[in-house]
Amino acid sequence: MNRQPRSFSIALAALGALLGVSPWAGAAPEAASAGPTAVVEARALSDLEQLLEALGERRVIFIGEHHDRYENHLDQLAVIRGLHARGTALVIGLEAFQQPFQQVLDDYVAGTIDEPEMLRRSEYFERWRFDYRLYRPILRFAREHGIPLVALNLEEELTRRVGEAGIAGLSAEERARVPAEIARDDPAYRARLKAVFDRHPFGEARDFERFLEVQLLWDEGMAARAAETLKAHPERTLVVLAGVGHVEYGQGIPQRLLRRLQVPSAILIDGRERALDSGAADYFLFPERVELPPMAKLGVRLDSGPGATGTRIEDFVDGSGAEAAGLEKGDRLRRIADQLIETYADIRIALLDRAPGERVSVEVERARLLGEPERKTVEVELH
């Protein structure tokens, strides 16, 4: 197999001294105390080929991501593509999709629905919100090669309820959707989440125990689904794509999955911009930065809240192309180019492959004081 053209450096131990990200950097010489110095032998540095070889016997591979970093997702794809090329049967678990929408992913991989329909039916834009183009190459590769996709995440309605009332405050129906076993006895997991909680303001009603329960529910819910997937596909290797906080140190999904099912596993995370602790992962990845092309936008703020469809213009951003074209507050978007607009997802889909600077026709419905609303079509320069 040919080597990947992208830079894909991998190390098995901390590389802070080589990469200039030592956790001790910046201390005054007279204040520095003697401490452990991380050392890595240059010959220990490896590449994607060696990584794939090492991963060959693992049943589950956790690849942590920073959700908005395209290079992280390209690395995920590189591992998936490389394992597939070596003949490894795969199944891909995704934090980005919620469990009630599993049938949508099944239909997409089977080819019975197209990409826009998958995005609408999974409510991707309403529930995950990160730029879909970050995940698109992975989902398209899975569809092309018939690799099952698994929605790992619990539905946000359930996690929101736990945030409000705690697990003890759930109804019997809600409790039935909570994993039967939730392990709370890891002090390191608790301490790590407490440090995260203390760094972020949550308002006057902040409650760490409630925050902890939500995180436990997320991790146990995804781990339970992952374990079910491994049992349902005994011949396949599961690749779990989830936020780095859910996999590092093995404290989130990994240890909870392995508690349910003992299988060989590996954890891969981005090693940049962090203190490189050898306990955080089995492999650190150091990809080059890759940016997605800018997203094309109309330059409008849309209605939101209960009952809103996300299609009515509430306001404009500075320099809005839509405002410059003559659209007004209160206008309801009806069509962008050849895409009929009925929901917020339709807007995102219509703009998905557009570029800033393009001009598109936009049809709106505008209320009048008397009579039926009028239809107005303008040409908008996307910003």
Whether residues 248 and 158 fall in one domain: yes
Final residue in a domain of this structure, among 256, 287, 318: 287
- Domain of 304, CATH number, reads 2.30.42.10
For residue 2, being part of any structural domain is answered with no
- Provide the domain count of the chain: 2
Return d(Cα 243, Cα 142) in angstroms, integer: 20
CA-to-CA separations, 363 to 337, 354, 358, in angstroms, rounded: 8, 17, 16
191 in Cβ contact with 145 (< 8 Å): no
Look up the CATH number of the domain holding residue 186: 3.40.50.11550
Other beta carbons less than 10 A from residue 43's beta carbon: 6
Residue 187 lies in a domain: yes
**Are 155 and 197 in a shared domain?**
yes
Name the token pair of 85: 């090329």
Residues 52 and 28: beta-carbon distance below 8 Å:
no
Q: Is residue 3 part of a domain?
A: no
pLDDT of residue 202: 61
Q: Is residue 275 part of a domain?
A: yes
In a domain, 162, yes or no: yes
The last residue of one of the domains, among 287, 320, 353, is 287
CA–chain centroid gap for 269, Å, is 14
265: enclosing H helix or E strand: strand 265-270
The verdict on 61 and 155 lying in the same domain is yes
**Does residue 238 belong to any structural domain of this protein?**
yes
Longest Cα–Cα distance in the chain: 81
Q: Are residues 305 and 274 in the same domain?
A: no
The better pLDDT of the pair 313, 41 is held by: 313
Contact (Cβ atoms closer than 8 angstroms) between residue 97 and residue 153: yes
Q: Which long-range contacts (CB under 8 A, 24 or more apart) does 349-352 make?
A: 349/116, 349/119, 349/120, 351/295, 351/296, 351/297, 351/298, 351/382, 352/132, 352/133
Helix axes 156-165, 208-232, angle to 10 degrees: 150
Does 2 have pLDDT greater than 50? no
Residue that terminates a domain, selected from 287, 309, 329: 287
Same domain, 160 and 265: yes
pLDDT (0 to 100) of residue 127: 96
Cβ–Cβ under 8 Å, residues 312 and 344 = no
**Tens digit of each residue's pLDDT (9 = 90 or more) over 10-34:** 443 333 333 333 333 334 445 555 5
46 and 144 fall within a common domain? yes
On whether residue 265 sits in a domain, the answer given is yes
Does residue 182 sit in helix, strand or coil? coil
Looking at the predicted structure, is the pLDDT value of residue 35 above 80?
Answer: no
State yes or no: pLDDT of 371 exceeds 90: no
Does 333 lie in the same domain as 255? no
Cα radius of gyration (the chain): 24
Mean pLDDT of the chain: 89
Q: Quick one: 51 and 104 in the same domain? A: yes
Parallel/antiparallel/unpaired status of strands 339-340 and 332-336:
antiparallel
Q: Are 156 and 126 in contact (CB under 8 A)?
A: no
261 and 305 fall within a common domain: no
**Is residue 97 situated within a structural domain?**
yes
CA angle 160, 165, 169 (to 5 degrees): 120
Mean pLDDT across 128-142: 97
Query: Could you report the per-residue pLDDT of 268-315, keeping only the tens digit for each?
Result: 999 999 988 889 999 999 999 999 999 999 999 999 878 788 999 999
Q: Are residues 226 and 193 in the same domain?
A: yes
Q: What whole-number distance in Å separates Cα of residue 97 and Cα of residue 149?
A: 10
Backbone angles phi, psi at 47, to 5 degrees: -130, -175
Domain shared by 267 and 362, yes or no: no
Mean pLDDT, rounded, for 75-92? 98
Residue 13 and residue 277: Cα distance in Å, rounded?
Answer: 8
Domain region containing 351: 300-381
Q: Are residues 277 and 333 in the same domain?
A: no
Q: Which two tokens stand for residue 264?
A: 């060989």
Amino acid at 222: M
